Amino acid sequence: MRKPSLLVIFLTVFIDLVGFGIVLPVLPLYGKDLGALGWQVGLIVASYSAMQFLFAPAWGRLSDRIGRRPVLLISTAGASVSYVLFALAAIRMDLSLLVASRVFAGICGANLSVASAYIADVSPPEKRSKHMGLIGMAFGLGFILGPALGAVSADWWGAAGPGWTASAICAGNLILAFFILGESRKPDSEPTPSLPRFQQWSCVLKRPQLGLLVGIFFMANFCFTSFESAFVVLFVGAGNNEDGKPRIEGMFKYVEPIKSPKYTNVDWKADDGVEVRKGELLALVTFGGVQSQITAPRSGRLERGDGAGEVVGQINYTKTIAYYLFAYCGLIGAIVQGGLIGRLVTMCGEKKMIFGGLILVGVSLALLPFCDDSLGMGWLMGGLALFAVSSGVYRAPTFGLISLNAGEDEQGEVMGITQSVGSLARIIGPVFALGLFDVWPALPYLLCAGLAVVAGLIAWVKLVQPEYAGTAK
């Protein structure tokens, strides 16, 4: 019989989140490219979370009854199918398929809540928060490798590449989990009696500390998903006007010039303002009676020159850079949650970490929309680093305290409700962020900054620190 293992559950979640990280950074941009308005893109992003809101508690309750392993296998298989739909949407330029892919992914998206219950099953109370950091570490590392693979697959295989790559990775994860993932739930464990949905929610949220923690998690997740939804558009810009220029200008406009010798004639093969792929033929240049080809040095938006001098065009490649910035945040988050959480919990306790993390989240969100190209990339990297550190500091202790305030026989159900509440934030957050983005790009960031600070103050005033603080080894 396979034994439950923290390493195995970490690998299972990590591989699944690699697939998630491949697709998520460009999802808002794909929606814009398919002609959706800001609020419509928000609804596309939110559709995944809407399904999780409905199904996560049921998956969690089911894992309390039949075990964590079968639920994780089902969710991984469903993720693979959803990414196939995503790839087909990119090929056919079909907005309805894009929505369908996110809806199906949300129905099957039970990984995080069930994995959290798995960790609770095998962790002693004093190490619960530390081990919950493994989920955050897997999330961070997934966003290191995922966006990088997304950028490469988009460069080589076009818009459908991220979908096919993510599907293949999840299929491989399904095979791995089937053969090596052990069951964590004890055979003699009895789940709590099943109650109607609203009674389940009421029983959980009425408990003073548990309800408070779930509420704080909702506010924090709302801030995170607002950042997540709007950042790529803030950085890159999106949508084209009739003149081919971006309808929403990005913060940075890094361009790579496409140079040639002085020429006598240029036959353009790509239109101004369109997205081109690496190696795509842009123009035929005649010089000295000899015709030569000009190809795209990398994928991005083409901005043609005026025919004077040696520069025949420029490639705006900020979409690719945005991928790597997500990976950068993931690396920092993985270091914090995988290597520092245990020591920080021992030194400070969960309450102080949640408070400090949320305050710093507010500071970073207030700074990010003003770190544009007038300040340079260094300021943006610093703002993103602060956001990644602060997000990593509060997340694992929050899940740890939620788990500790839940009974051992209801871990799946409580974690499912927590994920459902987080999904509710992900439903509202994208619509909020991308809707207000069209009014003023900085507005959703500033409002979320204030909300994060409020959540931190509530945590400081209302949360009770567990008595075992400082005893973890």
3-state SS class at 426: helix
Burial 216-231 (b: 16+ CB within 10 A, else e): bbbbbbbbbbbbbbbb
234 vs 298: CA distance, rounded Å: 21
Q: What is the pLDDT along the chain (473 residues), one digit of tens a residue?
A: 566 667 777 777 777 777 766 766 666 666 666 666 656 666 776 677 778 778 877 787 788 778 888 888 888 888 889 889 888 887 877 777 878 888 888 888 767 778 878 887 877 777 777 777 777 777 777 767 777 777 777 777 777 778 888 888 888 888 888 888 877 776 665 555 555 556 666 776 778 888 888 899 899 888 888 887 777 666 665 555 555 454 555 566 666 777 766 666 778 888 777 778 778 888 888 776 778 888 887 777 787 765 555 666 777 666 567 667 777 877 887 788 777 777 787 788 888 889 999 999 999 989 888 876 666 667 888 888 898 888 888 888 888 888 877 777 777 778 778 878 887 887 787 777 777 776 777 788 899 899 999 999 999 988 887 765 444 43
Q: Domains of the chain by range and CATH?
A: 6-186+195-240+318-462 (1.20.1250.20), 255-316 (2.40.50.100)
Identity at 454, one-letter amino acid code: V
- Which two structure tokens, joined as six digits, stand for 169? 């990775």
3-state SS class at 290: strand
| CA nearest neighbour of 370 among 318, 451, 437, 441 | 441
pTM of the model: 0.70
CA 391 to chain centre: 12
* DSSP letters for 327-368: HHHHHHHHHIIIIIHHHHHHHH-HHHHHHHHHHHHHHHHHHG
By CB atoms closer than 10 A (0-12, 13-18, 19+), residue 261 is exposed
CA 58 to chain centre: 23
139 vs 338: CA distance, rounded Å: 10
- Which two structure tokens, joined as six digits, stand for 96? 């309805």
371 vs 439: CA distance, rounded Å: 19
